[in-house]
Amino acid sequence: MPELPEVETTLRGISAHIKQQTIAKAIIRQYQLRWPIPANIQQLLANKSIAKLERRGKYILLRTNSGTIIIHLGMSGNLRILTKPTPPKRHEHLDLIFHNNKILRFTDPRRFGAFLWVEGDPYEHPLLRNLGVEPLTKEFSGQYLLSQAKGRTIAIKTLLMNNAIVTGVGNIYAAEALFASCIYPAVPAKSLSIERLDKLVKCIKLILRQAIKRGGTTLKDFVNSEGKPGYFSSQLKVYGRNGSPCMVCGKTLERMLLGQRSTVYCGSCQR
Ligand SMILES: [Zn+2]
């Protein structure tokens, strides 16, 4: 599933091609995504210019002067830029064709993604309104987590994955940051000291920034790419490594279910 670094990398990758560019035409081959694409989207988007691209959590906002396209990549979606007309393959549901001849193509095999149009303030849209703080901002701190954990019995990993508290730290990066900060994923959030929460926040920011940086080196994949751009699995230390040896102590990594999500951890390094 695309997580925050993949979404940020996607945003940066497409920005250079479509910022300040005007949409000539929208071609929709499949309207049924997680929510239906508005039926009149062609009329809505014709001749709109992309003034600004923004990310909020895992949403990509393409802002025009009279409204905003809200895109979510869902479980399996990706966006890429084509520089010449290319016959669509299966699951390539949508093209935005720009006056500069660039084509923004949205692919989503599982169709859990979204492509919506909103007039007015996009941050007031029901999908965005209740999102928590951005993990790469100053507002996200150990102190903030401490205040959110107060009086709750929630496990620290479940707290991190609550989008209303901090948005965009998904399963992969929550597991990786807990490993990096030596915190057992199921530990009650409220029992962690401010020192440990500070360390955790530092690790989350570092790991997200490193992933975004690595994504930057694959930006070329956003042009005429056949594959899925921007997945950084080679650097993961626990996620997807159940049964393999811990890279720090050598003990076999274990797996548990937390909030119905699979979590891999080291029973020896994480307390
Ligand atoms: Zn270990």
- 65 and 151 inside one domain: no
What's the rounded Cα separation, in Å, for the pair 122 and 243? 44
End-of-domain residue from the set 108, 129, 150: 129
Residue 134 lies in a domain: no
Q: How far apart are CA 86 and CA 77, in angstroms?
A: 18
How many angstroms is it from 267 CA to the middle of ligand 1?
7
Question: Would residue 135 count as lying in a domain?
Answer: no
Q: Is 58 a catalytic residue?
A: yes
- Cα 176 from Cα 191, distance rounded (Å): 20
> Looking at residue 182, which CATH number applies to its domain?
1.10.8.50
**271 inside domain:** no
Centre of ligand 1 to C-alpha 205, Å, is 21
Give the Å distance between the CA of 172 and the centre of ligand 1. 17
73 is a domain residue: yes
The one catalytic residue among 12, 209, 228, 261 = 261
- Whether 59 and 167 map to the same domain: the answer is no
Distance CA 261, CA 84 (A): 41
116 and 159 inside one domain: no
Q: Is 119 a catalytic residue?
A: no
Domain that holds residue 54: 4-129
CB hemisphere CA count around 36 (13 angstroms): 4
Residue 112 neighbours by CB under 8 Å, 6+ apart = 33, 34, 74, 75, 76, 77
For strand 92-98 and strand 23-28, is the pairing parallel, antiparallel, or unpaired? antiparallel
104 with 148, same domain: the answer is no
In the reported structure, the alpha carbon of residue 239 is separated from the centroid of ligand 1 by a whole-number distance in angstroms of 13
Our answer to whether residue 261 is catalytic in this structure is: yes
Among 129, 155, 179, give the residue marking a domain's end. 129
Residues 32 and 55 in one domain: yes
Instruction: Look at residue 76 in the predicted model and tell me its pLDDT.
Output: 84
Does residue 194 share a domain with residue 149? yes
109 with 189, same domain: the answer is: no
Q: Which of 84, 105, 129 is the last residue of a domain?
A: 129
What dihedral do alpha carbons 217, 224, 19, 207 form, nearest 10°?
-30
From first to last of its 271 residues, the chain has per-residue pLDDT tens of 788 988 998 998 899 999 999 999 999 999 999 999 999 999 999 999 999 999 999 999 999 999 999 999 998 888 999 999 999 999 999 999 999 999 999 999 999 999 999 999 999 999 999 999 999 999 999 999 999 999 888 999 999 999 999 999 989 899 999 999 999 999 999 999 999 999 999 999 999 998 888 775 544 445 434 444 445 556 789 998 999 999 999 999 999 999 889 999 999 999 9
| pLDDT tens column, 50-64 | 999 999 999 999 999
Q: Ligand 1 mean position to 255 CA, how many Å?
A: 13
At a CB cut-off of 8 Å and minimum separation 6, what does 216 contact? 9, 12
pLDDT at 97: 98
3 catalytic, yes or no?
Answer: yes
Catalytic: which of 2, 5, 122, 229? 2
- Asked whether residue 119 falls in the same domain as residue 176, the answer is no
The two structure tokens encoding residue 212? 């975004």
Q: Are the CB atoms for 180 and 152 separated by under 8 Å? A: no
Tell whether 153 and 110 lie within a shared domain: no
Inside any domain, residue 194: yes
For tokens 């001849």, the residue is 101
Do 120 and 10 lie in one domain? The reply is yes
Do residues 96 and 160 share a domain? Answer: no
pLDDT of 227: 45
Catalytic pick among 48, 56, 58, 157: 58
| Residue 190 belongs to some domain of the structure | yes
User: 84 exposed, middle or buried (CB, 10 Å; 0-12, 13-18, 19+)?
Assistant: exposed
- Number of compact structural domains in the chain: 2
- Give residue 230 CA to ligand 1 midpoint distance, Å: 28
pLDDT of residue 75: 87
Q: How far is the CA of 176 from the centre of ligand 1 (A)?
A: 12
Residues 150 and 219 in one domain: yes
Q: In the prediction, which pLDDT does 5 show?
A: 87
